[in-house]
Structure 1
């Protein structure tokens, strides 16, 4: 299922500063629509979990987590990560006809922690180290595919969030959103162009404040 395109918009409202009266008012006005969207995404997560697509279910729940501070969602995320970890251990052990070594168990635990904390690059490094030890391992290759999908979702989310900020003239927040995705996609030409554009505008604003004469285009 494709996530609703309005998610970045609601995420921006949720993260708005306490003194942003317009955003807070809009957040209240959109309550019913937002609640329906959350119900929809929860349904997507439930379907994915029922089909044992735990990685996809996690992605959906993390989208909800960006819109509400829910201990229930946090508990569900931890539960799904535990299920995913146990399945990974079983698959790796089955594929290699041997139990995981203590080092490999620790690597899986560290990998799970990195995923839970959304430390994507750390997770990627750990997974690559595991693949070097067990090249061709189907379970690890499947996890690599899921991780790449999560990275793509995170890049798309940050890009959309930055565009939402930019369209409202909040250039600094747009720049921060785009820069947060840059380590995940350092060669993304669209992302680099957005960052350059935002930085150029901020530089011109700074120059004007300091007495410059350049126009903002």
Structure 2
């Protein structure tokens, strides 16, 4: 097996950001996806949405410039770009459910080979008691992308034949961005878009435990 280096969280966020198109309306989920805001390419306009009622978020504020009255859905301080807006939570969910978001980027515990998403519960005591807005985002956005580490801390793949955790959405995930590879969920199965240097296709298949074709 050839040596390879995993993408750092910022490198992974940069990889996701490079695929977001000019003019897109995008929701960034809680956790790793929020980092994508800091790596959007210069020269394009991307309108970031937060489910607590914001359109037009900018990158994270500089240290010491945080305003805790201006936060995202994960209660992290954010900035607001010129032209940004605040609105009621119900209006925010109407945007999510009405198909007005081009892309949502979510974390996940598992993604199945056919694009099922499990990202709200592992069944452990003391975890989040309900699915919350993730369900609305997963099925309401025109494209749902997942951003996560490929493997658990125990070395098991988070991309699985069938999800064993409670589902957030069925066949909703179009792309999975991980620290080792980027994959597309298609009607013809999982397809590899890119792999980190040094990681062979056969080794990626071994890690995931599924056959992977090449992205066209």
Structure with bigger gyration radius: 1
Structure with a larger share of its residues in helix = 1
Structure with more contact order per residue of length (Cα contacts < 8 Å, sep ≥ 6): 2
TM-score by length of 1: 0.26
The structure where strand makes up a greater share of residues is 2
